[in-house]
Amino acid sequence: MARAKRIIIGLGNPGPDYEGTRHNAGFMVADAVARKAGLAFEVGGGPFASAWGSYRGTPIGVAKPLDFMNRSGTAVKKLVALSRVEIEDVLVVYDDLALDTGQIRLRPGGSAGGHNGVQDIIDRLNSANFPRLRVGIGSSFPRGRQVDYVLAPFDADEQPVIEEAVAAATEAALTFVREGLTTAMNRYNRR
């Protein structure tokens, strides 16, 4: 594991059954960040796939927990310990029902907002003071059907919207790596 200035951790569920689902928006961003930085994921060292290198001269790590979403905290805690970065230098990227599909929002910390994967990270780190990048997936599902909704693929009419959101989130994450959270928030929370 190489030394990184900052780490991007995308949340999702592992395996082909979950590829392209709303709940895997964090994985989509992590994959896009790794592609843009020319990094390749490897498995080993913990319950995660990770890629290490640099982007425009800045050391970077990108990771995807390999446990299911609601158990993301174990992988995040291990990544923080192994890489020896401060939790303020770890950006967690995940889907958010409270944002319209395609919206992105960065914030420095706070509650889990009902997201079980983020709550598990808070519980394992014993802190809510880590930056987050939320990717909106909307909430147009019938009452009681939230699980079916988040585990379903994006509809055809949502595809261009989510592709644009992943591209913007990728740039926001790389801005976080190079210039810090405040600059990334000022630049991307306005959209």
Nearest CA-CA partner of 26 in 74, 76, 84, 78: 76
Nearest CA-CA partner of 134 in 78, 160, 180, 172: 172
Nearest CA-CA partner of 69 in 106, 31, 112: 112
Catalytic-labelled residue, pool 22, 23, 105, 132: 23
Whether 115 is catalytic: no
- Give the type of residue at 99: L
Question: CA dihedral in degrees (98, 122, 191, 27; nearest 10)?
Answer: -90
Residues forming the active site:
23
